[in-house]
Amino acid sequence: MPANWRDTAAAPFQVQKQPATGSRGVVAANHPIGSAAGAQMFALGGNAIDAAVAALFALNVVEPQMVGLFGAGWINIRLADGTPVILDTYACAPAAATPGMYAPVSDTWPDYMRAEDDANKTGPLAVGVPGALKGWCEALRRWGDLDLKAVIQPAIQVAENGFPVSRYLAESVAQNVPFLSQFPETARIFLPGGRPLSAGTRLVQSDLAASLCDIADGGPDVLYDGPLGKRIVDHVREIGGILTMEDMGAHRAVRRRAIRGTYRGYDLVVPSPPCSGGVHLLQILNLLEGFEVADLGFGTADGIHVLAECFKIAFADRTKHMGDPEHVDVPVEWLTSKTYGAQRREDISLARAARLNAGIPPSVESACTTHVTTADAAGNVAAMTQTINEGFGCKVVAPETGLLLNNTMALLTPVWPTRSAQTGGCSAATRPP
């Protein structure tokens, strides 16, 4: 890097998203229809939790490749009285899952995460027991002000009436044609007439609308212990999967401990493991606290360089130290301490990119997760990160449901190491970090 690199750095890049502001409520989502669904809840007298759940149901319709009620995620709520709520709604392995159920391509990085025929990513063996719907409904029941029928209604209307396919959804479909075409029901929805959906095309999802109506009438039990779940499980098993209705019924959303930190005078509340994001967010901010971030500039080469170096340290630590706390001693206090942040900050040079230590490779992350943040005038704030893991999940849509199924089993290595879950079954022990 030249001596005058700070002076010759390229102009800041142009951001595509703008801050959301409001006096009575705010909804920030990845699609305007999701944001509109959340805003509608405020108009009905709902709070931030109602708005976030409504936005997620709507996103299941308009960005099904990213998020769905057959998915997984984390819910972080700050109630108006300041009480933090962390709800683990992640997926877990079916009870019949075993360490040898996949044939690994290799036992070395990075191919050790791959299985033959991508069986842990595509198709019925990639499906984990979903936690999203149960978590959304529990958050709504315990901390929302509106009922499920009201909150799910915008999603039903969009699924029934259709919406113009966004460029993002169209590009996602085009990139996944070889995988989507393997499954007839998936192809029928996203590859009509054998061709990928194009931007601007109106997509009507009648089966999805019917599934949402069933949930509005019967609640989450329709999926976890009822006819909707049975249709899905029967199809998964028919095409070679191991998911059962016993797996579905055993799933529980888990209340987790909140971890607190600070950054330049701001108080932060994040989820504890097995969620890795909260721990490493605090770690990254501890690293950044020693730099004059404002002077570096947003979007400049030097600003991006420092961020990248902080992320590299965090992801290396994630690979080495993070796991399920029931099986791994995760050093949370150490990783999130100011002392460790100051120590690791010495490894960051403004003049060059650092090399990661041998044997600590960076993690592979999906680009297909969505996040919704809402806030209301009373002081409730909801931050919900939800996913079906990879784009279009396992690529399977069960007939007459309209629901894409997750592929969260891709987060477990084909041959599970001793520090990972050794048996299947729906518990915290089988939730990937």
Residues in the chain: 433
Query: What SS3 state is found at 419?
Result: coil
- Write phi, then psi, for 107 (nearest 5 degrees): -105, 15
Q: Say which amino acid occupies 399.
A: P
Q: Say which amino acid occupies 316.
A: A
Please report, for residues 325, 418, 427, the alpha-carbon distance to residue 423 in angstroms, rounded to integers and kept in the order given.
15, 11, 10
- How buried is 257 (Cβ within 10 angstroms: 0-12 exposed, 13-18 middle, 19+ buried)? exposed
Q: Say which amino acid occupies 409.
A: M
- Write phi, then psi, for 375 (nearest 5 degrees): -145, 145
Active site residue 369: yes
Among candidate residues 89, 369, 387, 401, the one labeled active-site is 369
Handedness of CA 239, 244, 249, 252 (dihedral sign): negative
Please report, for residues 55, 192, 253, the alpha-carbon distance to residue 63 in angstroms, rounded to integers and kept in the order given.
11, 17, 24
Distance of alpha carbon 132 from alpha carbon 129, whole angstroms: 10
Please report, for residues 118, 125, 147, 380, 431, the alpha-carbon distance to residue 237 in angstroms, rounded to integers and kept in the order given.
18, 9, 33, 42, 22
Please name every residue paired with 376 in a beta bridge, in sequence order, or none if there are none: 25
Distance of alpha carbon 361 from alpha carbon 356, whole angstroms: 7
Q: Say which amino acid occupies 281.
A: L
Q: Return the active site residues.
A: 369
